[in-house]
Structure 1
C-alpha cells in the first residue's frame, strides 16, 4: 500500500457512509409508512382504500424518478445531484407535517420520493472514483450500500412505530431532516468532486430525458390504479380506455425514441433479463403484501398500537441484518442459482405461515412470522441483484439497474392495490386469509419462474458486477 493511499481510506469510508445514509432514505421511508396508515386514516378521515395512495404516490414517483435521476446525474454530475436531492428531502420533510389535508401529505411523499430517488444512481456513479482512489474493490463498496438499503427497509417499521407512538405520524417526516443533513455534509466534504462537463442546452437535456415517456408511464399506472381502487360504489369505466390508450402510446413512444425511459428493446433482446425483472416484481408483490398488510391487520384486528406493531416487526430487521452477509457468502460458496431457489422456497413457506395471524395475533406468533419473512427477503434481494448483473450486458448495466429499481416499485404498487381492494370491506380474518392466499400463490409462481432464470457461472457474474 502506498503512502498516498493511506489517507484516502478514511475519506473513502466517510464518503461511502454518507452515500449509504442517503440511499437508505428511500427504503426507510417506504417502510416506515407501513405503521402510519391507521393513524393517517384517523387524523384525516379517509378509508382503507384511499390511505393506500400515501404509499402508491411515493412508489409512482420513485419508479419514474430513479431512471430519470440516473440520466440527470450523468449530465450534471452525481455529486451535485446527490446534494440537490438531500436538500429536497430536508425541505419536503420539514414542511409536510404541517399539511392540512391528506392530499398535501401525498404531495409531500411525492417530493420525498423525488429527493431520495437521486441518491442511489448518484452513489453508484461515485463508487468507481472512490474505488480507484482507495484501492478498495467496487463490489465491496457496492455491498456496503446494498446492506444499508436492505437494513433500512427492514428497520423502518420499528423506527416508525416508536416515533409515531411518542411524537405522532408527523415525526416520520421530521426524522429525515437530520439524516438528510448528515448525508449532505458527508457528501459535500468527502465524496469525489464531479468531473467537468460540457454545457448542454436545457432543451437537449429534456429531450434526452424522455419526459413524454415518463408522463405516459405514470398516466398508464395511475389510470389503472384509480379504476381498481374506486370499484365501489360505481366503477369509473371511462378509465379503462384511458389506460389502454396511455399504455399503447407509452409502448409506441419507447420503441421509437432514441433515449427511452424504459428500454423495451433491451428487454425484447434479453429474455433472461426480462425474467429477472418479472420474478423480482412478483417477489416484491409478495413481500410488500405482508410488509404493508401485517401492520394494518395487527392494529385494526389485533388491537395493537402503532408502536407495538412496529416492535413486532423487529425480527424482520434483526434476521435481515444477520442473514444478509451469510446470503452473500452462500452465493460465493454454493452459487447463485441454489441460493435463489432456497430463498424462493423460504418465500413460499413464509407467505403461507402468514395465515397463522388470522387465528392468533399473540406476540409470540407474530414474532415468529416476521422472523420467517426476513429470511427470504434478504436472500432473494441479494440474489436477484446478482442475477441482474449476470444477465445484463456490461454496456447495458446502467439502464438495466434503473429498470430493476422500477420493477421493485411496480411490485410494491401492485401489493398496495391488492391490499386496498381486499381490505376495502374491513380488515377481517377472512380478508387477511384472502391476502395471504394471493401472496402464497404468487410466491409459488416466483419459485417456478426461477427455474427459467439461468445466470452465468459465479465467476462470470462477479466479473460482470466488477
Structure 2
C-alpha cells in the first residue's frame, strides 16, 4: 500500500523522491535486522506466541500512524510496523513442519504458497491502498492494519496448534545472545551505504565510503567470532546452496520492487493518473498467481527445481525489457500488459526460490534460515529504493523512467546469469526430498 502513497507523502511532508523512499527503507531495514532474531525467538518460545505478539505490535503501529505530524514521526511508526510484521514469515515457517506432519502435506509447497501470498499481497496492496488514499487520505493505509492484524490474531488463536512445551529460556539470556554489537554494525553499514548511494547524483559524501568499509569489515569480524552471531557466516560458508538461495532472492526482489515502487510515482507525476486507478493498473502483477502457481508446482515436480529456476530466470530477464515501453506510452492497456508480463514469470521465480530454501536449509535451523531468507528479501527491497531514488533524482519524466527501466533490465540479466552459472552441490540433509532436488 505504501507504493502508491509515495507521491502523496512527498506532498504532505514536503520532501523529495530520495527522502520519501526512507519510509520503505526503514521498514525493510527493521525487517532485515529483526527477522533472523524473530526466527530464533520462534524456535525458543514458540512460533504461535511470537506471531501473536507481532500482530499486537502491528495494531499499535496502525493506531499511531494516522497521527504522524512530522516525517520523522512517520518513519518511527514505519519502524514499529516493521517490528510487528518481522515476526510473520519466520514464525509461519517454524510451524510448518508440525502442520505438514499432521496433515500429510508438503512443507516446501506450503512455504512456497505463504511466500506467494506475501508477494500477492504486495501486488494487491496498491489497489487497496489507492482506494483508501482517495477516500480516506494517506492515514487510511495505517488504519487498515488494525482490522487486518486483529483478524490474523483471531484466526491464529482458532486454527494454529498450541506451541509444544519447551524449556523456558529467560528473555535476558536471549537478548544477551542476540549479538547486539553485530546488529548495530550491520545497521551502520546499511544506513551509511544507503545515504551515500541516495546522494550519489547530487552531493555524495565520500567520507561515508570508509565508514561503510570499516563497519562492514568489523561486522564480518564480529560475526565470525560471536558465539551466537546475528548472521551466522560460518553456517553460510558451509552451505553454498543456502548462500545461492539468498543471493538470487535479493536480485529477484531488486527487479520486482524496482518496478513496483517506480511505476506508481512515474504514472502519478508524469501521466497524472489518480492513485486508485494506478492501483488497479498494477493488479496484473498478482492477478495471474492463481493460474500460474499450479503449473509452476507441476513443472518443479516433473523437471526439478534447477530446470524451473532457469526457465523462470530467462522469462523474468526478458520481461524486464517490457518496462522500456512505458517510456513511449502510458496508455492503460499498455500498463496492464507490462505489469502482467513482469508478474507472470515472477510467480515461477518466487516458488522456485522458496522451495529451494527448504531444500538447502538444515532441518534443525529452519526458523533461522527463514529469517535470513526474509532478510535477503528486505535487502532486495532496500536496494530497489536506491534504484528508484537514483533514477528519479532529476524528476519523473520519460527519460528518467527509461533510466530506471534500463537499470532494472540489467538487474534481470544479472539474475539470469547468477541462476545459470552458479551451480552448487546438493546439501547433505537427511530425507529423500532433500536428496532428490538441487536448488
1:343-354 maps to which residues of 2 (within 5 A)?
Answer: 343-354=312-323
Partner of 1:217: 186
- Structure 1 residue 461, shift from structure 2 partner: 4.0
* Contact 1:343–1:375 (Cα < 8 Å) also in 2: no
Aligned pair count reads: 434
1:47-446 maps to which residues of 2 (within 5 A)?
Answer: 47-139=16-108, 141-231=110-200, 233-446=202-415
Partner of 2:203, secondary structure, is: coil
Q: Which moved more, 1:73-82 or 1:283-292?
A: 73-82
* Contact 1:154–1:320 (Cα < 8 Å) also in 2: no
Change (3 A) 1:463 1:101: farther
Deviations 1:404-462 (CA, angstroms, capped at 9, x unpaired) = 22111111111111210121110111111111111111111111111223575996448
Change (3 A) 1:269 1:422: same
TM-score (norm 1): 0.88
Partner of 2:6: 37
| Bigger relative CO (Cα 8 Å, ≥ 6 apart) | 2
Unaligned runs of 5+ in 2: none
- Structure 1 residue 393, shift from structure 2 partner: 3.8
Partner of 1:22: none
Unaligned runs of 5+ in 1: 1-31
Rounded Cα–Cα distance in structure 2 between residues aligned with 1:412 and 1:236: 23
TM-score (norm 2): 0.93
* Contact 2:57–2:80 (Cα < 8 Å) also in 1: yes
- Structure 1 residue 321, shift from structure 2 partner: 2.9
* Contact 1:71–1:209 (Cα < 8 Å) also in 2: no
- Structure 1 residue 82, shift from structure 2 partner: 1.1
* Contact 2:268–2:275 (Cα < 8 Å) also in 1: yes
Aligned mate of 2:423, from 453, 462, 465? 453
**Superposition RMSD in Å:** 2.2
- Structure 1 residue 240, shift from structure 2 partner: 2.2
Partner of 1:36, secondary structure, is: helix
Deviations 1:232-261 (CA, angstroms, capped at 9, x unpaired) = 653323322222221111101110012111
Partner of 2:15: 46
Change (3 A) 1:85 1:395: closer
Partner of 2:318, secondary structure, is: helix
* Contact 1:97–1:173 (Cα < 8 Å) also in 2: yes
Change (3 A) 1:174 1:257: same
